[in-house]
Amino acid sequence: MENVVIGIVGNINQDEPIAHYGNVAYVDAIIRAGGSPLILPVVEDSHIINDYLKLCDGFLFTGGKDINPLFYHEDLGPLCGKTSMILDHYQLALFKAVRAKEKAILAVCRGMQLMNVAMGGNLYQDISLHSPYVLGHNQKSDDGDVCHMVHFKEGNILYDLYGNELAVNSYHHQAIHELAEGLKAAGSCKDGIVEAVIMEDYPFGVGVQWHPEKMMLKDDKMLGLFKAFVEAARRN
């Protein structure tokens, strides 16, 4: 049986020298789940994006910089972090193209936020804007450590994999504010921050706010999520 090719949606570092990159933890997670990882550099050419669609069976949208709030019709606020218009244009265009082809999607951290913005939702530019009380969502502990619970709703793949709650890690300061049409919240924290989403009426579209690839440094609990993603991509 041929391996499934998973496109790991690349990031760009615009410091000198400029570099296109993908985190090795995502690569390892896809290999362990039975897929063939392919890091996809940041491009502006729609023809190359179409080539990516032909090459890959599924797409992993990864963590990274904040999304420029102009893409969800807000001005830049003082709490927004570092952004990249080149990266945002590329990843939003790629997400929309992947969605149109109904390819399998797994979106992690920034990737989940990008999913929401691409489908018409918006973000809190900083979690402190959600409410006076929020949990710590940007842990300072070792990679692989967990720091808070996520509670899942019944009737989605994450509940099927992990039951009603799961301890996860957390490395973000932005979060989903208004959920896009076509997305359903699948899990949240006790402070109300959305931690997981499912694309409705879609073969496989899952977004998680935590970093499952980092959790796999400590145990195999997250391997089931990556395996489900790879198997969904195989069915495309």
Catalytic positions are: 109, 211, 213
Q: Which two tokens stand for residue 112?
A: 């989940």
Give helix 24-32 / helix 223-234 axis angle, nearest 10°.
Answer: 70
Instruction: Judge contact between 115 and 105, C-beta under 8 A.
Output: yes
Cβ pair 156, 89 in contact under 8 A: no
Rounded to the nearest 5°, which phi and psi values hold at 125?
-65, -20
The alpha carbon of residue 107 and the mean position of all alpha carbons in its chain are separated, in whole angstroms, by 2
Coil vs helix vs strand at 195: strand
Task: Mark 157-171 as b/e (b = at least 16 C-beta within 10 Å).
Answer: bbbeebeeebebbbb
Residue 22 identity: G
C-alpha span between 229 and 235 (Å, rounded): 10
Nearest-5° angle of CA 49, CA 52, CA 58? 125
